[in-house]
Amino acid sequence: MFNFRLWLLAAFLPVCFGAGLAHAQIDPTKRELIQLGYNQPLQGHAPIAGYAFYYYNQPGFLRTNLTLRLAVAPVYVDSELGIANTIGPYTDLGFGLAGGGFADSYSEIRQGKYLREESFTGNGGQVSASIYHRFNPDQRIPLAGIFRTEVAFADYERDDTTAPTFVLPRDQTSFNIRTGFRWGGKEPLLAPDVGLELSVWYEGKFRPNAGAYGFSDDRRVESASHLFWARALFAYTLPERKDNFMFSVTAGTSIEADRFSAYRIGGNLPLASEFPLSIPGYFYQELSASRFVLLNGTYYMPLDAHKRWELTAVASTAAIDYLTGLQQPGHWNSGAGGGITYHASSQAWRIFLGYGYGFDAIRTGGRGAHSIGFLVQFDLERTKGPFYDPGANNSWSRGLDRILHSFN
């Protein structure tokens, strides 16, 4: 019973502290957020999928040129200290430290089945150093570049249900590089008032201790994996009606990807990483892709005069080339869902209760899968002054001006 309780607690960690949580530039805004999310499938067995973390970002930490970013979950911490104008007037440095339990765990999901006998626990940590540069300091929408080096360590161990004949991968020390360019950006919120982003990225993972593992060495950790992806995103709030919507297109490809570096797609946990790959109704990270194109859309429509209750709709569709060994029939996967959102008039907190249906998810008896879930956000800074106020003018030109102004 003790092992089960510990695993249940830690199930909220691997979701929100993957490699994607690292940010593309030092955040200049003070933030104090509590985020919770959970998905529960109604068919089949799947790993518990959820996140629960406290996010803190403090510009002017100890000195005016220092920014502390901190994300804390029950047994895992991710932190970075940013130092402004270190190399030049528009070039910053960041030094990161992260570590704890369960964040490198792996769950094998193949053709809609969660294979616990091929799944295992991973614990570890990482240190990183980053360079952030702004290319257009005189323009409202920032164009930022990043170069990050990282050393990560993962220690793997068996779960109670891992098959005795399943050989675990060797403990790994990984040397990682990420570089990219981002024009604009999106706040780390469930429903940002405005957002505009175009970004392109490369990440390389290099593992000196690569090799085969599994049943009779039927799978392997690659010595070098290369990922390339891009995202376009737009979010906006209608000034009069207060309808809020967000659309995004994300596409990625890879060279020599393995189970630890493939794109994991599925579920509806929008703050699980910096680049969430969501499809409602599916298990979280159900699909493993070597290449993909994913379209996501979310719409919040107010239902009452005070605009606190909202009808929420979400939809996603993806074309996927599967990772070798995790293929399944059909390259298209789509899902949709909806629910009810309630938020305080100050936007200090927001709660979403919803349902999702995965049209192409493989389950016993055919295609189609149902899930339910919730998302909760507490913005502890929101009551001190909103990031953006749509105001009363419903002109689209004024709205565009506010989008531009929001990046100041």
Q: What is the pLDDT of residues 67-95, one digit of tens each?
A: 999 999 988 999 999 999 999 899 999 99
**Mean pLDDT of the 336-349 span:** 92
Residue 1 in this model has a pLDDT that exceeds 80: no
Q: What is the pLDDT of residue 9?
A: 43
Q: What percent of the chain has pLDDT over 70?
A: 88
Q: Would you say 221 and 169 are in contact if contact means Cβ atoms under 8 Å apart?
A: yes
Residue 405 in this model has a pLDDT that exceeds 70: no
Task: Show me where the domains of the chain are located.
Answer: 2-405
**Mean pLDDT of the 15-40 span:** 74
Q: What is the pLDDT of residue 287?
A: 98
**CATH number for the domain running over 2-405:** 2.40.160.50
Phi, psi of 7 (to 5 degrees): -65, -40
Question: What CA–CA distance (Å, rounded) separates 309 from 300?
Answer: 9
Lowest mean pLDDT among 19-23, 116-120, 125-129, 212-216: 19-23
SS (H, E, C) the chain: CHHHHHHHHHCCHHHHCCHHHCCCCCCCCCEEEEEEEEEEECCCCCCCEEEEEEEEEEECCCCCCEEEEEEEECCEEEEEEEEEEEEECCEEEEEEEEEECCCCCEEEEECCEEEEEEEEEEEEEEEEEEEEEECCCCCCCCEEEEEEEEEEEEEEEECCCCCCCCECCCCEEEEEEEEEEEEEECCCCCCCCCEEEEEEEEEEEECCCCEEEECCCCEEECCEEEEEEEEEEEEEECCCCCCEEEEEEEEEEEECCCCCCCEEECECCCCCCCCCCCECCCCCCCEEEEEEEEEEEEEEEECCCCCCEEEEEEEEEEEEEECCCCCCCCCEEEEEEEEEEEECCCCCEEEEEEEEEEEEEEECCEEEEEEEEEEEEEECCHHHCCCCCCCCCCCHHHHHHHHHHCCC
Per-residue model confidence as pLDDT tens digits over 220-259 = 999 999 999 999 999 999 998 999 999 999 999 999 999 9
Sign of CA dihedral 289, 290, 293, 295: positive
Per-residue model confidence as pLDDT tens digits over 263-315 = 999 999 999 889 999 999 999 999 999 999 999 999 999 999 999 999 999 99
pLDDT band at 20 (very low <50, low <70, confident <90, very high): very low
Q: What is the pLDDT of residue 27?
A: 87
pLDDT band at 330 (very low <50, low <70, confident <90, very high): very high
Average pLDDT, the chain: 89
pLDDT band at 408 (very low <50, low <70, confident <90, very high): very low
pTM, two decimals, is 0.89
